[in-house]
């Protein structure tokens, strides 16, 4: 792969068929990165003005219980509603409309207002993983697609710093997972094996893009990564969706998340922003080739305040990156597994 580190080239994402331009010659050597943590006041463990904290009244008027672990509720201002009033219209190639009934839920990861997923204990992260699986199984009985995701940080548009994620369920499979499903099915027909199981085996063998490896999981900077420190979470064996994870796989996933997310925070010594979400087999029977996986898309590039933008060429042609995925993985891999503000105080 020496030539790939030295001159511009394109890399293909086999999950989507899309390409990314990689331009390593724009960097004479990997940058060290300035540490410019944004000024921010320490958050209290409970914020009386936070609509996600235990016992507080939400914006929609409902009062949260005094929850002590994860807490799930239906979003007061959902993007999807169960009874869509839009009817499918007769075929009009330039003005197609289709209904999209669904529901949206909020998952509070912890009653603590001042923590992030990276700062929770292993047992608390496991509870979040179990909640994702339970919610996905429940919603999947009614909706073909269940999207679990988290937007962390102001840079990713999070409207509240309380540790939380969302789950949106819909009758139609959205565009991106539909494309991934298509390419996984095509690969299965061509090779009689799973695209992402094969990919995980190759990444484990090569090791150059692996950030964290556990008994059941890999976290890698994918070969086709667009965002500078993007990662892909992969089970090592076939698993179609979150509810299929065994108890040992869930515990091991919790370990991997802790080790990976702490590395992110240590990179620029900041609560690293990202969008994080799961893709698994839809609940409509179209599961051929599907392998569970998660995408983490962080925007930061050089420091806590310098981020990557997709503009110009990237909006009009295709995504482009300078730092190679191999260099990004090396930098993440080198980070300690104790969070920067906990060194000398032990782990949480």
Cα dihedral value 100, 103, 109, 115, nearest 10: 60
Residue 164 annotated as catalytic: yes
Q: Which of 162, 164, 293, 295 is catalytic?
A: 164
Q: HEC states along the chain? A: CHHHHCCCEEEECCCCCCEEEECHHHCCCCCCCCCCCCCCCCCCCCCCCCCCCCCCECCCCCECCCCCCCEEEECCCCCCCCCCCCCCCCCCCCCCCCCCCEEEEEEECCCCCCCCHHHCCHHHHHHHHHHHHHHHHHHHCCCCEEEEEEEECHHHCCCCCCCEEEEEEECCCCHHHHHHHHHHHHHHHHHCCCHHHHHHHHHHHHCCCEEEECCCEEEECCCCCCCCCCEEEEECCCCCCHHHCCHHHHHHHHHHHHHHHHHHHHHHCCCCCEEEEEECCCCCCCCCCCCCEEEEECCECCCCCCECCCCCHHHHCCCEECCCHHHHHHHHHCCCCCCHHHCCCCCC
Catalytic annotation, residues:
164
């Amino acid at each position: 792969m020496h030539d790939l580190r030295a001159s511009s080239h394109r890399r293909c994402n086999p999950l989507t068929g899309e390409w990314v331009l990689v331009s390593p010659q724009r960097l004479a050597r990997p940058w060290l990165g300035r540490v410019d943590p944004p000024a921010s006041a320490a958050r209290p463990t409970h914020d009386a003005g936070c609509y996600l904290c235990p016992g507080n009244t939400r914006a929609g008027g409902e009062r949260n219980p005094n929850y002590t672990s994860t807490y799930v509720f239906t979003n007061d201002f959902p993007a999807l509603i169960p009874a869509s009033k839009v009817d499918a219209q007769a075929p009009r190639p330039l003005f197609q409309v289709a209904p999209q009934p669904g529901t949206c839920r909020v998952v509070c990861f912890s009653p603590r207002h001042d923590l992030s997923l990276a700062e929770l204990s292993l047992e608390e992260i496991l509870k979040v993983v179990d909640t994702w699986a339970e919610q996905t199984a429940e919603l999947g009985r009614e909706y073909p697609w269940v999207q679990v995701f988290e937007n962390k940080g102001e840079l990713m548009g999070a409207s509240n710093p309380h540790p939380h994620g969302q789950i949106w369920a819909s009758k139609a499979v959205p565009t991106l997972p539909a494309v991934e499903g298509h390419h996984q099915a095509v690969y299965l027909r061509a090779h009689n094996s799973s695209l992402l199981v094969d990919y995980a085996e190759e990444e484990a063998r090569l090791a150059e893009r692996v950030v964290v490896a556990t008994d059941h999981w890999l976290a890698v900077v994918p070969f086709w990564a667009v965002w500078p420190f993007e990662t892909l979470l992969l089970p090592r064996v076939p698993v179609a969706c979150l509810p299929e994870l065994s108890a040992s796989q869930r515990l091991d996933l919790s370990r991997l998340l802790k080790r990976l997310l702490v590395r992110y925070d240590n990179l620029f010594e900041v609560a690293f922003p990202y969008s994080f979400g799961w893709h698994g087999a839809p609940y409509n029977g179209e599961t051929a080739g599907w392998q569970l996986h998660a995408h983490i898309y962080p925007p930061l590039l050089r420091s806590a305040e310098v981020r990557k933008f997709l503009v110009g060429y990237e909006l009009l042609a295709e995504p482009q990156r300078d730092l190679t995925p191999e260099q990004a993985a090396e930098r993440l891999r080198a980070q300690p597994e104790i969070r920067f503000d906990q060194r000398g105080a032990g782990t949480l």
